[in-house]
Amino acid sequence: MNTSGLLLFTTDGELAHRLMHPSLEVEREYRVRVRGTPPPEVLAALTRGVELEDGPARFDRLSAESGAGANAGGSHSWFRVVLHEGRNREVRRMWAAVGFEVSRLTRIRYGPLALPDDLRPGSWRHASAGELAQLVEASRRGRD
C-alpha cells in the first residue's frame, strides 16, 4: 500500500533478464519518506554500506528532498536514493537496518526511463520506440 511508482512490463524475457541482472548494475531511483529525521551519520552509513541478512548493501546516491515535515501525527523526512541492485525490499530493509521505517516509497526511475510527471497513479502507457531503444541500450551497457 505504501509502495508505488514506475513499473515496466515486457514480453521480452531476454530484455527483462538483462535489465534485472545484477552484473549490469542498471540504476533504480526512488523517492522515500521515512519516519523521523535521520542524522548525518546515518545517511553516511547508508552510502558507505550496511549489512543485510543477504549481504552488504549501499545507496549509490542519497540526497535530502523537501516534503511535508509532519504527516499523520509524526515527523517525516523525504529522500531521493539511487541503487543498482534490485534485491527484495532492499530500500526498506536498508533504512530499517539503521533504525528508520519507510512510510512511503515510489520508484521514479528505472535505468534511463523516468516516471512521467503527468502519468496518474493506476494509469499506464506504452513505451515509445525511443524509450525502448534506451532500455535495450541500458541492458547492454549497464549502469547509467
Domains and CATH numbers, the chain: 12-117+126-141 (3.30.2350.10)
The beta-strand segments (E) located in the chain are: 3-5, 28-35, 50-52, 55-57, 61-65, 70-71, 74-83, 102-110, 113-114
Q: What's the mean pLDDT in 59-82?
A: 80
Task: Please write the tens of the pLDDT for every residue from 72-115.
Answer: 456 999 999 999 887 788 999 999 999 999 999 999 999 999 99
pLDDT of residue 1: 55
Residue type, 44: A
Q: What's the mean pLDDT in 122-128?
A: 91
**pTM of this prediction?**
0.87
